[in-house]
Amino acid sequence: MVQFTDENIRELFGAEDAENEDPKRLKEIFFRNKAYDNLVSNIPIRVLVGHKGVGKSALLKVAYLEDVERGIPAIWFQPGDLMALPISRDQEFTEMIETWKVSLINLIFQRVVEEILPGNNVKKQNNIKGTVSSLIIAIKGLVDRHAENITTTSAKKILESFRKNNMIRVYLDDLDRGWDASRFQIQAISALLNAIRDLCGSEKNLHFRLGLRSDVYFIVRTSDESTDKIEQNIIWLIWDNHEILVLMVKRIETFHGREFDEKAALLVHQTKLEVYLHPIITDRFNGMGKWENAPIRRVLLSLTRKRPRDLIKLLSAAARQAYRHDRQMITTQDLRDVFEVYSAERLQDIINEFNSELPEISKLVHGMRPSKKERTTAAGYLYTNDRLITKIKNIMQQANFSFTNGNFVTAKSLAEFLYKIDFITARRDENGKILRKNFEQNRYLMDQFADYGFDWEIHMAYRWALQPQDVKSIFRFVDLGDDG
């Protein structure tokens, strides 16, 4: 049994973001999926794309830590490191690409100086050309001039690896922080991707590993035809519910100091995996309607938006609720007590995340609240294409909407937006089994010029926030997700 103190909760379920996770614990609980295998492959450019909360930073951080352990010269940059670079709104696109190239090369050189000559006052160089060969020459010159000052074991290890293959790996995380979908930011990120492609071109000495939100990449990709040349380097970080369950079981088992084979667990049915949860949470949900006596895994996974962070937040909140009542196991009541707050926070998440792209997003998502009549039926959150468009047209009569990038606003473009941000998911009944798809699984289901035979539903994670006055109808009418 576990005492659900804040410290134990963090150790048990993990930190919500990789930046705040202890590196040792991060590597211990890390789930090595196919996206990670592709990320660490020996290809110069790797761009990791996925929604916020899917673990992009964790994959990049573990890849970086393992590079450092192997002695591979690796450099980690965050948005703050790039803020001072001379990228401006007044530049032409080609000029912006050249500015990125020169700035990145000089920034990499300065970071190499900090890594191999910590504390030494080495004269700053800002005249390195925007080429990989000029960077390699500058580093070799630095080493020759200051060889006697390179004394630390880590610095010597980096130099040994550098001399062996003349290669440096650069990690750029969280580049979309402060993203507002403006024309300038779209151009800036597109220019960055083009600059990286130019730098890596025929060279094998410089590798880049980047993380981008899927909506950011989608806008950049559809706004600039030149980004088609980077497409082969995109790695989509997409989770299914089975993988998320395995990830959580691994965290619980490693918390108790037990070995856990995640590869074998991926081949095991969820009913067998679920037993690992039972020491900390009730095995059945004491609900009503379609939720009555449901396996707890189906309840938990139905409320996550195929993002591991969602499950961490939900379980952490329920565990804190259990601790308030001196319980050492999460009960149905603990979950029910946190559903409304959890739902409101997820709704606020997407408002905060996407209001720079659609300033009136709050009016749009709150406008999707079911009417009094809809709340009393199973179709309260379900829409055919026509019903969805009609619903959005009614909302448009109450507010004016505008996209920051200047794109024309229609009911269909707003429907596409709701799908892209995972507020709605695609749904189809296939012989009694409900098939659900989100934006990252199929980016083209919601297309202004095609109908692929899917209906739409508001994701479960938001329904308590939209319907706090009648949550019983959620239990009566809402279908839980299927296994997988």
Q: Tell me, what's the pLDDT at 321?
A: 97
For residue 197, pLDDT over 80 is answered with yes
Can you give the residue ranges of every domain in the chain? 34-236, 241-477
Mean pLDDT of all residues in the chain? Answer: 85
> Region 445-469: what's the mean pLDDT?
76
Q: Tell me, what's the pLDDT at 264?
A: 93
CB 309 within 8 A of CB 54: yes
Q: Tell me, what's the pLDDT at 471?
A: 67
List the one residue out of 209, 127, 114, 202 whose CA is nearest residue 168: 209
Q: How confident is the model at residue 356 (pLDDT cuts 50, 70, 90)?
A: confident
More confident of the two residues 105 and 166: 105
For residue 475, pLDDT over 80 is answered with no
Q: Tell me, what's the pLDDT at 164?
A: 72
**Token reading at 114:** 């900090």
List the one residue out of 157, 162, 132 whose CA is nearest residue 44: 132
Q: How confident is the model at residue 484 (pLDDT cuts 50, 70, 90)?
A: very low
For the four alpha carbons of 299, 305, 308 and 312, in that order, the dihedral sign comes to negative
Q: How confident is the model at residue 61 (pLDDT cuts 50, 70, 90)?
A: very high
> Region 33-52: what's the mean pLDDT?
91
Question: Tokens 């100086």 correspond to what residue?
Answer: 113
210-243 pLDDT, tens digit per residue, is 999 888 888 888 777 777 788 889 999 989 899 9
CATH class of the structural domain 34-236: alpha beta
Question: Tokens 């934006």 correspond to what residue?
Answer: 439
Classify residue 7 as exposed, middle or buried by CB count within 10 Å of its CB (0-12, 13-18, 19+). Answer: exposed
CB 291 within 8 A of CB 480: yes
CB 309 within 8 A of CB 247: no
Q: How confident is the model at residue 482 (pLDDT cuts 50, 70, 90)?
A: low
% the chain with pLDDT above 90: 41
Q: How confident is the model at residue 470 (pLDDT cuts 50, 70, 90)?
A: low
> Region 251-277: what's the mean pLDDT?
92
For the four alpha carbons of 155, 156, 161 and 164, in that order, the dihedral sign comes to positive
More confident of the two residues 428 and 368: 368
CB atoms within 10 A of CB 371: 10
- 238-270 burial by CB neighbour count: b if 16+ within 10 A, else e? bbebbbbbbbbbbbbbbbeeeebebeebeeeeb
Helix, strand, coil percentages in the chain from 3-state DSSP, rounded to 5: 55, 10, 35
CB 290 within 8 A of CB 477: yes
Q: Tell me, what's the pLDDT at 204?
A: 78
More confident of the two residues 439 and 318: 318
CB atoms within 10 A of CB 206: 24
Q: What is the edge-to-edge ordering of all strands in the sheet holding 433-437?
A: 382-383, 455-458, 424-430, 433-437
> Region 68-90: what's the mean pLDDT?
82
Degrees, nearest 5: CA angle 255-57-424: 95
For residue 348, pLDDT over 70 is answered with yes
For residue 23, pLDDT over 80 is answered with yes
**Token reading at 157:** 């290890």
> Region 384-409: what's the mean pLDDT?
91
Q: How confident is the model at residue 441 (pLDDT cuts 50, 70, 90)?
A: low
For helices 332-354 and 308-324, the axis angle rounded to 10 degrees is: 140
> Region 71-85: what's the mean pLDDT?
81
> Region 113-136: what's the mean pLDDT?
68
Classify residue 9 as exposed, middle or buried by CB count within 10 Å of its CB (0-12, 13-18, 19+). Answer: buried
List the one residue out of 237, 256, 240 whose CA is nearest residue 63: 237
Given the DSSP bridges, would you call strands 450-451 and 446-447 parallel, antiparallel or unpaired?
A: antiparallel
> Region 49-56: what's the mean pLDDT?
88
283-322 pLDDT, tens digit per residue, is 999 877 778 889 999 999 999 998 999 999 999 999 999 9
DSSP string, 366-420: HHTSPPHHHHTSTTTTEE-HHHHHHHHHHHHTTS----TT-PPP-HHHHHHHHHH
Q: Quote the CA–CA distance of 231 and 236 in Å, as a whole number.
A: 11
For residue 124, pLDDT over 80 is answered with no
> Region 352-379: what's the mean pLDDT?
84
Q: Tell me, what's the pLDDT at 258?
A: 92
